[in-house]
Amino acid sequence: MSLVNASRSELTKQFTTAMWWVLAVVLLAYVGVTAGGLSAVFGAVASGTLPGGTTSGAGVSPTSLPPLIYSLATSVGYVFPLLIGTLLVTNEFRHKTLTPTLLATPRRGVALGGKLAAGVVMGVLYAAVALVAAVGIGAAALAAFGIDTRLGETDTWAMIGRIVASFVLWTLIGVGVGTLVRNQVAAVVGVLAFTQFLEPIARTVATLVDGVSGVTAYLPGAASDALVGSSIYATMGAGGAAPLAWWGGGVVLLAYAAVFLGLGYLTSWRRDVA
């Protein structure tokens, strides 16, 4: 029962602070505006409301448009579960609460396990928020232009399930990053720099330089896109190499989580509390 108690304690910490819902509101707005805007633009072009262009000219057919819009949940929103996972650990170091946490749960492996369990719950929660924005708003906008939303197809719901899995894995990666990097500012800045600048630049360069694309397919963002099965970045030509199989993308994300967690546990987590 110690793991159950540790998990309950971690969830109590999350839901008694404002950060989780602030990030959730920003995620809802960010993904919702992006999905609604792109759905309206592509839908208007596909329906002929905006003459002089076609969605196929942008590499998008009316059939592939719904999965593309729904996948915005992860392709633009994955940084949020990554951040909440990182904050789940680094808040302990920042606010000096790790000592009472470890006094309540002396076995550090169990304490970390509680954070992982809480991370799974937060990942599912944030996935639900992102899906409300991407699928809810996106499907409504597509339907307004007479485009089939494909919500009655099993492939669409399978992709939605993979989006949830991707959010959970991103949260676990965040827990690993927070475990490895104790300083909250350094961890958050590193997460934002890599996800918003370094990887997008690397994936763009991969489309221009031979021999690089095979490496960028294994970057976490590219692996996440592969797991989901659709991505606005791949459609825009910034995907680099041919994507991995969906299960391969999941394995790569799980490997990132395992490596960060393993290194964090062996180095930072087992050290004396600062």
- Say how far residue 179 (Cα) sits from the centre of its chain: 18
Contacts for 2-9: CB closer than 8 Å, 24+ residues apart: 2/105, 2/107, 2/110, 3/110, 3/113, 3/114, 3/117, 5/105, 5/114, 6/105, 6/110, 6/111, 6/113, 6/114, 6/115, 6/117, 7/113, 7/114, 7/117, 7/118, 9/101, 9/104, 9/105, 9/114
Distance CA 185, CA 181 (A): 9
pLDDT at residue number 203: 83
Name the phi and psi angles at 5, rounded to 5: -65, -40
pLDDT at residue number 57: 45
Name the H helices within 132-218: 138-144, 154-180, 184-193, 199-206, 213-216
Per-residue pLDDT of the chain (274 residues; tens, 9 = 90+): 588 999 999 999 999 989 999 999 999 999 999 999 999 888 888 766 666 555 554 556 778 899 999 999 999 999 999 999 999 999 998 988 888 888 888 889 999 999 999 999 999 999 999 999 999 999 999 999 889 999 999 999 999 999 999 999 999 999 999 999 999 999 999 999 999 999 988 888 877 776 666 788 899 999 999 999 988 877 665 555 567 899 999 999 999 999 999 999 999 888 766 5
pTM equals 0.93
Domain spans of the chain?
1-267
